[in-house]
Amino acid sequence: EDKVVQSPLSLVVHEGDTVTLNCSYEVTNFRSLLWYKQEKKAPTFLFMLTSSGIEKKSGRLSSILDKKELSSILNITATQTGDSAIYLCALVPQGGSEKLVFGKGTKLTVNP
Amino acid sequence: NAGVTQTPKFQVLKTGQSMTLQCAQDMNHEYMSWYRQDPGMGLRLIHYSVGAGITDQGEVPNGYNVSRSTTEDFPLRLLSAAPSQTSVYFCASSYSVFEGSYNSPLHFGNGTRLTVT
């Protein structure tokens, strides 16, 4: 039973489109939710979300956490081919356990 | 600025062979971990360590051993490789993970692609 579910699993868009990636989770008590971008090698950190309703923004990327809906979204506006990657969501649990739980990721392909 | 270094980058083993995947970090991170990534499965935690001398199992520990004799190094050992262990392995580290102070993202190495035939 997956605790972190990402949707869609894959997405193909054209340059300039805006995309919204979803991350839903079952755990109600957690420290933070992380977003990573993975191109060909190591995942690279995008955002850490700890408070509901506060948007984090970096250039064309933004993310927000909704603890009431047990979900987070990652938005990318004016997509570019360089945004093509797997986007991973991870939950940092409470209670001293350091077993981060990752979703399966969303594979985004941006075509020129 | 090395960060997290994994070696080797690629490895091919025959069933039954043993090997060690190396991971070193130069950021004085207490927390280190090993993940495997398979198509459609995301990142799954194998083993992790919250400090030198301390290790614990993750989600998929069978077939793997770890040790943490120093803060910098966290090797992953495959004692008898099986085709099911064909995967990409990532090592990751972060700062202190004690209750209330863990608030930093994982730093990943570039991965080791392992094929077991």
A64 SS3 class? strand
- Decide which of A37 and A27 is more confident: A37
- Quote the longest CA-to-CA distance of chain A: 46
B2 SS3 class? coil
- Quote the longest CA-to-CA distance of chain B: 45
Contacts 24+ apart (CB under 8 A), B56-61: B58/A99, B58/B33, B58/B34, B59/A99, B60/B36
* Average pLDDT estimate for B26-43: 90
What's the half-sphere exposure (Cβ side, CA atoms, 13 Å) at A90? Answer: 28
Q: Which two tokens stand for residue B45?
A: 């935690």
Q: How confident is the model at residue A107 (pLDDT cuts 50, 70, 90)?
A: very high
On average, the pLDDT of chain B sits at 90
Residue A94 DSSP one-character state: S
* Average pLDDT estimate for B109-116: 96
Query: How far is A84 from B27, CA to CA, in rounded Å?
Result: 29
Q: Helical H runs in B22-109?
A: none
Task: Name the residue among B45, B102, B108 with its Cβ closest to that of A99.
Answer: B45
Answer yes or no: is pLDDT of A94 > 80: no
Answer yes or no: is pLDDT of B99 > 80: no
A16 SS3 class? coil
In chain B, positions 31-50, which contact chain A (CB-CB < 8 Å)?
31, 33, 35, 40-45, 48, 50
CB contact under 8 A, B42 and A88: yes
Tens-digit pLDDT profile for residues A59-84: 999 999 998 888 999 999 999 999 99
